[in-house]
Structures are given as C-alpha cells and as structure tokens.
Amino acid sequence: METRKIGILGAGHVGTHCAVSLMFQGLAQEIVLIDKDEKKAESQALDLNDMGACLSRKTIIRAGDYEDLKDAEILVNAIGRSRRPGETRLDMFEDSMERLKDIVPRIRKSGFQGILISITNPADVVGECLRRKLGMDRFRCFSTGTSLDSLRIKRILEEKTGYDRNSIDAFCMGEHGDSQMVPLSRVSIGGKPFLKLQKEHPDTLGKITLEELQEEVRQAGTTVIEGKGSTEFGIGIALSEIVSAVFHDEKRVWPLSVCLEGEYGQKNVAAGVPAVIGKNGVEEIFEIDLNEREKQEFDRSCDVIRGYLRQAEEMLK
C-alpha cells in the first residue's frame, strides 16, 4: 500500500492550517511537523491528533526532524513569521533569507527527493531561491505564488457580480504581492468572457474596473492581517488543492510560481502563471494569450521579483 508522507517546515499559523486542510481531505497517511520550537511542534501535533479522532480517514501526525524528510513525497515550506500590519511581503525578504541559510543545508543533508512546495513570503523569491540552492528541477520545486490571490479574485468577483464563484474562471499572475496583476481579458463567467458581459450590462458589470479589482486583491491580505494578525485558512486550502492534484495526478490547471525559461518571454525569474499539476509536480506551464497592457503589467511584476532574486544571490553566497 502506498504511504503518502508530507513534511511541513514551520508549525505556526500557516503550517498548522495546511496540516488541518490536508487531514480534512484525507490526503496524507503521515504528516511530520518540523519547527525549531520542538515543544510547539509536539503540542500542535497532539492537538491535531485529538481532532483526527473525529475524522473518517486516519492521519498519523507528529513532530519530527529533517531526517524524516528522506522518504517524504512532498515537503511544504512554511517557516517564518507572519506579515506585520503595514508591511508588504517584500518587507519580509531579509528575514526569510536568513532562515533559508539555516534550512537549505538541512534539507540537502536529509536526502529529500520529493516535490517541494514553498509558501514563505516573499513567496516567489523564496521558492526560487530554494530551488536554486537545492539544485532541484523547476517543475519539482515551486511556490504557491498567486494561488491565494486567485481564490480572492473569485470571491471578489462573486461579490460584485452576483454569480457563484464556482462559475467564475479567473486568476492572478506575476508576484504574490503588490505588483501582481489580473488578466481581465482571460476572465470568464460560465464560459462567457467577462469583457463581453460588461458590454451587455454597462450599468452594472460595466462599472467594475480592472484597477478596482486589482487593488481589492492586493489589499485583501492586509485587511486580514490588520484584523487578526495573520492569514492562514485560505493558504491552507490552496496548499491542499495543490497536493491533491499531485497525489491524484489530476492534470489540473492552477496558478503557481514557477521558474520561467522562455515562457511569456521571461527567463531567470519565478512568477505566478497557470500551470498543469500532476504526479510529477508541475507538468506544463500553460501559456495563455495576454493583451498588450497585460503583457506590460506581467513584465513589470517579473522585474520586481528578478530584482529581489539578484539581492538574494548576494545574501546567500
């Protein structure tokens, strides 16, 4: 019988809620929480085990160490502190780079050979730095990127249009941060292009602007952090959806931050793009047509990420 084992680095808000979501969906037989605060990891695992007593599928969840990663199919990187009120994700750059100096040699020494999914902010930069330093294939080490932003744009569009979010096809691209963009020309509801719907309903849908949508997506995380100190539920379900696509070989198209090697005219940068997820991780980068304005916005976002990647190379020497 196949054993699905997942390691999670970081037993804080994000790492723990990833574990919760994985357990509710019955996606793993074993989850190992790894944290520098061993007592916290042990306590989180115990609390989650108590919850697991009510679930139909059994999941062994425990605290562990990097040695446990040797036979893990998936490793989730959720180390680091929460974003503080007033901070952007890029403001967490230096702190995250310092943490990478500690975990990279430990992951390498563990002999981990699975798929690495990084969440830690700034997500695009951290995920790509991990890939480069570990020498991993770009399709087996990537970041959740604009996954959470894409869930948010569906929620926002549902609120503004009245159509159910499950009938809305929309996503964000570029940085998981302030420079992210919404390719409005690719948004559809029930298969009908949103731009066409706007023309058909000028007094309602026609009044929704791209600038308004993008600003609301950008501010969504900030609003949550100012109110409760961290985001956790949305990214937890996003992570479990990605894991499900891997374990079930779904060939699902989902926005992820993947290293680009010519796709969308970009190289030497990782940015949020639609990607096909299957048993091998990312199996294809889904290139879609963007209009000229969208291309320019995506290019600008990639330039922001690329600039921080250059700084990271210097810091991680």
121 DSSP assignment: S
Q: How many angstroms separate the CA atoms of 240 and 49, rounded? A: 18
Q: How many residues does the chain have?
A: 317
Which tokens go with 196?
């066409």
Q: Between the CA of residue 66 and those of 35, 42, 75, 243, what are the distances in Å? A: 10, 15, 10, 20
**Which residues are tagged catalytic?**
176
Nearest Cα to Cα of residue 309 among 82, 106, 146, 100: 100
Q: How many angstroms separate the CA atoms of 51 and 46, rounded? A: 9
Q: Between the CA of residue 114 and those of 101, 129, 261, what are the distances in Å? A: 20, 17, 22
Taking the CA atoms of 241, 243, 249 and 251 in sequence, report the sign of the dihedral they define: positive
**Helix, coil or strand: residue 270:** strand
Q: Which amino acid is at 261?
A: E
**b/e map 197-210, b = 16+ CB within 10 Å:** bbeeeeeebeebeb
In the chain, the N- to C-terminal Cα span, in Å, equals 43
